[in-house]
Structures are given as C-alpha cells and as structure tokens.
Structure 1
C-alpha cells in the first residue's frame, strides 16, 4: 500500500474541504447581510407608505371636518345629524385600518394623538352625527396628527 498517495489524497481532501467551507461561509454571510439589508429597506418603505397614506387620509378628513364646521357656522348650528337627513359625513378610516399595525409597531412615533383622532373618527363615522365642539376637536387632532407624521418623516425617513 502506498501511504504517500493515501496521505497526499487525504491532505488534498482536507485542504479542498477547508477551501470549500471558507468560500461557502463567506458567501452565506454575504447573502445573510444582503437579505437583512433588503428586509430593513422593505420595512422602511412600508413605514413610509403607511405614514404617507394615513397622512393623506387625515388631510381628507380635515377637509370634511372643515366643511362641517363651515356649515355649522353659516347655519348657526350646534349639532348635525347626518342619519336624519339621509346624508353621510364622508369621514374615512380605511387607510388607518390597513396600516395601523405598521404604524403602531414603529419605535419613537408619537401615537397618542393619532390613536385619539381615529377613536373619535370611529365614533363620528358610526353615529353619523356631530356637534360643533367635537368637530373643532377633530380639526385640531387632524392638524396635530398631520404635523406629527411630517416631523417623523423628516427625522426618520428623510428621503421621500
């Protein structure tokens, strides 16, 4: 038996295996880092989309609440019952319902005003009635929530 050939083959196998292991390890580490970067970018993109979408919905609701307040001021009304007149207040919560799980999981986002706004909007939508005090409060909440989103986007998502 030729021990030299056996030893040579064994050393070649060990060195070849070691080189293969090092290349595989390097490639896998690189792929894991790239995958982590992709996931982080996707998460940031999803957050940006969620915030912009909810901000647009808030602006829509601000317009609706402003129109309601204007009607109340012109008609000298303190209370509107949309159900009684077979009308709708046209307030929306669709984007919040779709994206709230993303927004609520974001670190450092000031949720208090946004959540309070949507609790009040939910009440307005389900009851289809409002008074002047609630309408003014809704306008103020919309303005504050919109400002909070803008500031958050500037700090945490500077490229839009």
Structure 2
C-alpha cells in the first residue's frame, strides 16, 4: 500500500566550507511513517534534520512538506516550526520546571492551549514514553535517557 509522502528531499546538498555534509540526498517519508536516521558522528544526521526544519540552509536541491516547498521565512515558517518537533542532542530542559511543566510549556506558548488542556495532553504523552510516574519530578531527578524522552 502506497503512503502519501509527507517529507520529500530531492538532490539536497549542503557544504560547510570544503566539507560536503549532505551530498545529493533523496529521501521520502510517508505520512504516519517512523524513520530513524543513524550514522557515525559527523555524518550529517543533525544537519539533515535541521535542514528539514529550515534551521539550516541548503545550497541546492528541494525540500517539500506535504507537497509544498518549505517556506523561506515569516509567518509560514513560524507555522512550520510550530508543527515540526525536534529533539536536539542537548535537550536543555528547564531545571526549575517539573517534567509536566516542561512538556506543557510549548503547548501553552506556541499552540495557545489552556494550562489544563496542555497538562492533560502532556500526561498522555508522558504515558506513551513510560514517564507518567515522573511527571512531578525535576530534570535533575531523571536519568539522561529519561530527560531526552521528556
């Protein structure tokens, strides 16, 4: 069964000086598909993810989301970033906020959800990743893996 493409990269190239980090990348990710990008340190995994979120510019090629080219700037780009989630290598949770508060924060600030609704959804998400029992803990009380799941 064919899956509608959600993210498409065609002939994407990115250099950092002489280093050709992304070389003629072609990638299609279907709606609902889960993709894992693995490779050695320095192979371009983070650069690829940052390019999809327009946090990194590309020199050539195209990236489209749901059949539309990625927006260059402005409100359309802000809307894209509000819909695309990334887990950075250094995840930098707010140390003075609980797990629940950290997960709910973007929902209230970016999505404009009421606190109660954001907390309800956050609890559902924490349950999905096995962290519901840690909702009232602070990041320093969690392991590194638990912090990254938050």
Q: Which has the higher helix share?
A: 1
Same fold (TM over 0.5): no
**TM tier, shorter chain?**
under 0.3
Q: Which has the higher strand share?
A: 2
Give the structure, 1 or 2, with the largest relative contact order (CA under 8 Å, sep 6 or more).
1
Larger Rg belongs to: 1
